[in-house]
């Protein structure tokens, strides 16, 4: 069955939701239709051996539960069974709710638990009250064939994803939080597995992990990919998912595939990692774009402060408004030791992890850790409009702690933004998709590790810089003019003076010639102190500073203000910063690119990096688009003038026609 047929099946299932109109809110449609779809799928998968299971259930009804379950599983030839003679098509029209609940309760424990996450019994009773339950069961039981002969596991994944998208769209929810489009999944998986043939040798055991598993798309795709290129490889899938309904679908999918369902966990990966002590060979993820991590903030902050690099978040924490890089650090913490073959990661992120945050910020420190530890192999730009809930640009990051020799110390950037085909019909914000040829071309560029129009290779240090503080001297003039004296009222340090002392201070200052402009701070300070002494006024250092501040203005022609040691004082208003590439000497850079423009500037050598103690704060950013930008010169002025003349002539003609 092709993708279009999967869509047709999903559309028919979606049409069943029309029966709910007027009885349920649109936001509840999915809570009804999804578990029925799942129930029908499980029923169809079990159908070939249904009779054998029923006979075994009758034969072994008096045996202990644990023994009986093993015997029924053996007859089922699946990792689950149902010991009821009922099916959706044969439920009674008079006691449908009781029959259906009994039918679901007859599943083996692992399957039964899946329906609990949908609160299935609650919705069954609501459907019965609305007199809709029997109609729904008959629609699913007699008109929808979800057998594995008709629909593969891959196809079933597409159907679930299409249904989730439709339900989310109809209730203004975010479908993209639950799953990733399969073409993006296929691209990320293909890139991750490129060159791994020797690892995927016969009889090897491979572990794959997704911390934001959704409905299990990444896990299913990666398993199918491995099985397609290798023989006799055992693939073990692991995952964790926050959304209970997506978790239930993912768990059901794993159960049908004979995967260990206990390896799929429910909960918040950032605040409650339920596979904390596990390490994995391959990891794939598409964490939600730009979603905050406030719900996990306390736990994550504590882990960062207490455990440091012994925990998951040692390098740093991103701003709370975007948790993408936290998921990336989480995955890095689960990499296997290189002595055990190391690990590889494929993760889809939006653009912000590439450049958000200046030197010293959490985001920059995370990029620094990744690049200085040589963990990032490649970053691939995908086309825009690839996802159902957003049209933003996205990128596939490929990481490895066991790089091949030709990749060591390097980062490859691949521009795949033009590698797409347009969809005949948009699905939400998704207007483009990757064809097999598009994916193959991205894989070829990645595998070649060569410089081309769409592939650039850089040493890791090329993305690092030092943020050096550039100071310039403070130059002030001073004057006891009426306007400046009035500014004394705004100085907080002077507002604590008694009214009579403040008045006396003003009178003392007004004794200085209002027309005299002082261009040397020391000269003015001596003149001011002389007047204060005559008036018998004693000011604190803070109050004297406030007076000087009120009576001064910046003046590039004034003398430099110096401290007590004679060193020039920095003007904070003229302070600037230079991002000096890590590959450059900061003093050579300063003499070459700063001194010619501001001869009186100097480097503030007290601003040093916490990690290496050198001058300047180290930062890392990956300005992806800059490396692929192609300058297009503007059109000749003559051509622009000709176009403008043509437009004005056309407008004149239209006006003449209207007035005729």
Residue indicated by tokens 């005949």: 424
CB atoms near residue 160 (< 10 Å): 27
Domain containing residue 449: 177-463
Instruction: Say if residues 327 and 321 touch (Cβ distance below 8 Å).
Output: no
CB atoms near residue 624 (< 10 Å): 21
Q: What DSSP letter does each residue of 336-377 carry, written as one string?
A: PPGGGT--EEEEEEESHHHH-S-TTSHHHHHHHHHHHTT-EE
Residue 427 and residue 522 in one domain? no
Angle at CA of residue 330, ends 302 and 442, nearest 5°: 155
**Is 586 inside any structural domain?**
no
Residue 145 and residue 225 in one domain? no
Q: What DSSP letter does each residue of 487-500 carry, written as one string?
A: GGGG-GGGTTS-HH
Angle at CA of residue 137, ends 133 and 143, nearest 5°: 145
Look at residue 155 in the predicted model and tell me its pLDDT: 87
Single residue among 529, 554, 579 that ends a domain in this structure: 554
Instruction: Say if residues 273 and 311 touch (Cβ distance below 8 Å).
Output: no
**Is 441 inside any structural domain?**
yes
**Is 127 inside any structural domain?**
yes
Residue 10 and residue 47 in one domain? yes
Residue 227 and residue 208 in one domain? yes
> What span, in angstroms and rounded, lies between the C-alpha atoms of 386 and 610?
40
534 φ, ψ to 5°? Answer: -60, -40
> What span, in angstroms and rounded, lies between the C-alpha atoms of 115 and 110?
10
Tokens of 5: 């047929």
Instruction: Say if residues 262 and 229 touch (Cβ distance below 8 Å).
Output: no
**Is 656 inside any structural domain?**
no
Instruction: Answer positive or negative: Cα dihedral of 488, 491, 494, 496.
Output: positive
Residue 92 and residue 241 in one domain? no
Name, in order, each residue with C-beta under 8 angstroms of 551's C-beta and a sequence gap of 6 or more. Answer: 478, 479, 480, 484, 485, 487, 509, 524
Instruction: Say if residues 326 and 268 touch (Cβ distance below 8 Å).
Output: no
Tokens of 553: 């203005």
**Is 271 inside any structural domain?**
yes
- Smallest CA-to-CA distance from 165 within 538, 426, 544 is with 426
Residue indicated by tokens 């709370």: 320
Residue 486 and residue 459 in one domain? no
Q: What is the pTM of this model?
A: 0.85
Single residue among 463, 486, 511 that ends a domain in this structure: 463
> What span, in angstroms and rounded, lies between the C-alpha atoms of 51 and 585?
79
311 φ, ψ to 5°? Answer: -105, -160
Look at residue 291 in the predicted model and tell me its pLDDT: 85
Residue 104 and residue 195 in one domain? no
H/E element, 414? strand 410-415
Residue 262 and residue 362 in one domain? yes
Cα separation of the two ends of the chain: 65
Single residue among 463, 495, 520 that ends a domain in this structure: 463
> What span, in angstroms and rounded, lies between the C-alpha atoms of 130 and 118?
19
**Is 15 inside any structural domain?**
yes
Residue 491 and residue 444 in one domain? no
Tokens of 70: 């093993």
Residue 300 and residue 358 in one domain? yes
Looking at residue 544, what DSSP letter applies? H
CA 156, distance to chain mean position in Å, is 27
CB atoms near residue 45 (< 10 Å): 20
β-strand 421-427 against 430-433: which pairing, if any?
A: antiparallel
CATH for 337: 3.40.50.150
H/E element, 4? helix 3-16
β-strand 282-285 against 602-603: which pairing, if any?
A: unpaired
> What span, in angstroms and rounded, lies between the C-alpha atoms of 331 and 617?
27
pLDDT along the chain (660 residues), means of 10: 68 90 86 92 94 93 88 92 94 94 93 91 93 94 90 86 76 55 91 88 91 91 86 92 90 89 95 95 92 93 96 96 96 95 96 94 97 98 87 94 96 94 84 93 95 96 97 96 94 90 92 94 95 90 94 96 92 96 96 95 96 96 90 83 89 83
Residue 216 and residue 291 in one domain? yes
> What span, in angstroms and rounded, lies between the C-alpha atoms of 656 and 640?
24
Instruction: Say if residues 207 and 280 touch (Cβ distance below 8 Å).
Output: yes
Instruction: Say if residues 206 and 226 touch (Cβ distance below 8 Å).
Output: yes
**Is 611 inside any structural domain?**
no
Look at residue 25 in the predicted model and tell me its pLDDT: 86
Residue 201 and residue 83 in one domain? no
Per the structure, the count of domains in the chain is 3
374 CB burial (10 A radius; 0-12, 13-18, 19+): middle
Looking at residue 24, what DSSP letter applies? B
- Smallest CA-to-CA distance from 555 within 517, 516, 528, 505 is with 517
> What span, in angstroms and rounded, lies between the C-alpha atoms of 379 and 397?
5
Using CA atoms, how far residue 618 sits from 360, 583, 586, 601, 607, in Å, is 7, 12, 12, 21, 11
Cβ burial 261-282 (10 Å sphere, 16+ → b, else e): bebbbbeebbbebebeeeebbb
Look at residue 201 in the predicted model and tell me its pLDDT: 83
**Is 145 inside any structural domain?**
yes
């Amino acid at each position: 069955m092709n993708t279009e047929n999967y869509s047709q099946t999903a559309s028919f299932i979606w049409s069943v939701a029309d029966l709910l109109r007027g009885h349920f809110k649109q936001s509840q449609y999915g809570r009804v239709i999804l578990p029925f779809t799942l129930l029908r799928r499980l029923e169809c998968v079990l159908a070939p051996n249904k009779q054998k299971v029923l006979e075994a259930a009758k034969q072994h009804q008096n045996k202990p539960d644990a023994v009986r379950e093993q015997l029924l599983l053996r007859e089922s030839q699946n990792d689950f069974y149902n010991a009821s003679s009922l099916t959706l098509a044969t439920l009674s029209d008079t006691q449908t709710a009781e029959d259906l609940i009994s039918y679901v309760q007859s599943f083996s424990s692992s399957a039964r638990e899946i329906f609990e996450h949908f609160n299935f019994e609650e919705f069954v009773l609501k459907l019965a009250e609305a007199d809709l339950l029997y109609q729904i069961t008959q629609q699913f039981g007699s008109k929808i064939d979800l057998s594995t002969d008709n629909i593969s596991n891959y196809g079933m994944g597409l159907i679930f994803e299409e249904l989730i998208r439709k339900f989310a769209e109809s209730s203004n929810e975010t479908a993209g939080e639950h799953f990733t489009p399969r073409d993006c999944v296929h691209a990320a998986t293909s890139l991750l597995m490129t060159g791994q043939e020797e690892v995927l040798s016969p009889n090897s055991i491979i572990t794959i992990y997704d911390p934001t598993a959704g409905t299990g798309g990444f896990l299913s795709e990666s398993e199918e990919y491995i099985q397609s290129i290798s023989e006799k490889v055992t693939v073990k899938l692991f995952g964790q998912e926050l959304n209970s309904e997506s978790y239930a679908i993912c768990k059901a999918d794993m159960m049908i595939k004979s995967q260990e369902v206990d390896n799929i966990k429910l909960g918040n990966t950032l605040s409650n990692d339920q596979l904390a002590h596990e390490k994995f060979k391959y990891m794939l993820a598409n964490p939600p774009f730009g979603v905050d991590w406030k719900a996990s903030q306390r736990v994550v902050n504590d882990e960062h402060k207490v455990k440091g690099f012994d925990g998951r978040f040692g390098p740093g924490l991103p701003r709370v408004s975007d948790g993408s890089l936290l998921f990336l650090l989480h995955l890095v913490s689960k990499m296997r030791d290189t002595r055990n073959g190391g690990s590889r990661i494929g993760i889809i992120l939006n653009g912000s992890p590439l450049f958000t945050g200046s030197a010293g910020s959490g985001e920059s420190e995370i990029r620094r850790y990744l690049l200085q530890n040589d963990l990032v192999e490649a970053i691939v730009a995908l086309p825009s409009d690839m996802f159902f809930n957003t049209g933003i640009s996205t990128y596939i990051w490929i990481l490895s702690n066991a790089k091949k020799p030709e990749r060591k110390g390097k980062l490859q950037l691949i521009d795949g933004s033009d590698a797409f085909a347009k969809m005949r019909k948009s699905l939400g914000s998704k207007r483009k998709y990757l064809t097999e040829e598009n994916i193959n071309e991205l894989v070829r560029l990645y595998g070649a590790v060569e410089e081309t129009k769409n592939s650039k290779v850089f040493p890791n240090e090329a993305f690092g810089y030092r943020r050096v503080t550039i100071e310039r001297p403070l130059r002030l003039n001073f004057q006891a003019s009426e306007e400046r004296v009035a500014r004394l009222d705004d100085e907080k340090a002077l507002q604590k003076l008694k009214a009579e002392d403040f008045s006396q201070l003003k009178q003392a200052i007004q004794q200085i010639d209002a027309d005299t402009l002082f261009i040397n701070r020391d000269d003015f300070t001596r003149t001011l102190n002389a007047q204060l002494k005559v008036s018998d006024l004693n000011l604190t250092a803070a109050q004297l500073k406030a007076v000087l501040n009120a009576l001064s203005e910046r003046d590039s022609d004034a003398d430099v203000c110096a401290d007590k040691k004679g060193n020039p004082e920095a003007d904070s208003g003229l302070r600037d910063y230079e991002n000096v590439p890590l590959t450059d000497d900061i003093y050579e850079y300063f003499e070459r690119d700063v001194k010619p423009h501001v001869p009186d500037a100097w480097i503030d050598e007290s601003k040093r990096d916490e990690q290496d103690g050198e001058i300047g704060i180290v930062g890392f950013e990956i300005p992806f688009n800059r490396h692929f930008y192609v300058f297009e010169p503007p059109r000749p002025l003559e051509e622009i003038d000709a176009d403008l003349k043509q437009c004005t002539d056309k407008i004149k003609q239209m006006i003449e026609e209207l007035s005729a």
